[in-house]
């Protein structure tokens, strides 16, 4: 195989472990396929540490990481690069690596200027996919992946860096939609609205919308949990024949 991607990620937060089975809906265990044939893999992308790569494959195409300080977010452009050139990929559904999600020094937890490297690597990923000629085919999936992760940083970036980050985030969204036929297939309604504010508004209005967005999401997930709990209780009552 040219690329071997790990399928189960363990995100460790305090003493809890969560299995994020991102790739189960893409392919069966050890099934062989080309990434371009399963566009969803460009949304549920593998981090660099979650893959095993054949040296011959890397050397054949001269693949190298795009370097940024502390290797910050380099795995995103690397993912696009390897998926763009790989003809055969297989996924293992067994978890092989444990990742410390609560590491304060991890890229995910950054609040300062290192966050700027995320939209940068997203732009590099898009450039690579365009060069290989598959961006149009996978842009709905990778576009939403890029938006979602960059939005996460926008929510927590330091206040004095918000304007600068807003400009870089907007540059990325404009790059995704610049061909003019992006359909936002993966975007929920709230996130489509967020993109509108990114493209047509200023940073103040955008960050106000983020505050509204977060409140709505919290309410939604809270309501969803209550509905699931009430449903579970009803099922238990029926099983125990309690009226």
The confidence score (pLDDT) of residue 221 equals: 60
Q: Using alpha carbons, list the distances in angstroms from residue 198 to 76, 124, 144, 208.
A: 22, 20, 14, 12
Q: Is 0.85 topped by the overall pTM? A: no
The confidence score (pLDDT) of residue 93 equals: 73
The confidence score (pLDDT) of residue 21 equals: 59
> Which of these, 132, 124, 93, lies nearest to 4 by C-alpha position?
93
The confidence score (pLDDT) of residue 81 equals: 92
The confidence score (pLDDT) of residue 15 equals: 38
CB within 8 Å of 73: residues ≥ 6 apart:
107, 117, 118, 120, 121
How many helices and strands in the chain, by DSSP H and E?
7, 7
The confidence score (pLDDT) of residue 168 equals: 93
Phi-psi region of 33 (alpha: psi -120 to 50; beta: other; left: phi over 0): beta
Q: What are the residue ranges in the chain where pLDDT is below 50?
A: 5-19, 242-243
CB within 8 Å of 123: residues ≥ 6 apart:
171, 172, 175
The confidence score (pLDDT) of residue 97 equals: 63
């Amino acid at each position: 195989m040219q690329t071997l991607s790990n399928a189960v990620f363990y995100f460790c937060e305090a003493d809890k472990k969560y299995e994020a089975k991102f790739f189960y809906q893409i392919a069966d265990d050890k099934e062989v396929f080309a990434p371009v044939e399963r566009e969803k893999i460009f949304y549920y992308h593998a981090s660099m540490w979650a893959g095993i790569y054949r040296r011959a494959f890397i050397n054949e195409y001269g693949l190298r990481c795009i370097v940024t300080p502390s290797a910050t977010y380099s795995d995103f452009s690397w993912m696009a690069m390897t998926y763009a050139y790989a003809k055969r990929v297989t996924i293992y559904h067994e978890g092989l690596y444990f990742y410390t999600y609560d590491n304060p020094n991890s890229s995910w937890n950054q609040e300062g200027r290192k966050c700027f490297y995320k939209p940068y690597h997203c732009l590099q990923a898009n450039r690579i996919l365009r060069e290989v000629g598959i961006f149009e085919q996978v842009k709905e999936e990778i576009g939403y992946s890029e938006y979602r992760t960059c939005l996460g940083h926008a929510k927590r970036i330091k206040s004095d860096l918000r304007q600068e980050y807003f400009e870089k985030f907007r540059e990325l969204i404009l790059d995704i939609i610049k061909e003019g036929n992006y359909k936002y297939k993966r975007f929920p309604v709230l996130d489509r609205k967020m993109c509108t504010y990114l493209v047509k508004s200023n940073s103040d209005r955008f960050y106000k919308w983020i505050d509204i967005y977060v409140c709505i999401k919290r309410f939604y997930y809270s309501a969803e949990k209550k509905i699931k709990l009430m449903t579970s209780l009803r099922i238990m009552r029926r099983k125990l024949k309690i009226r």
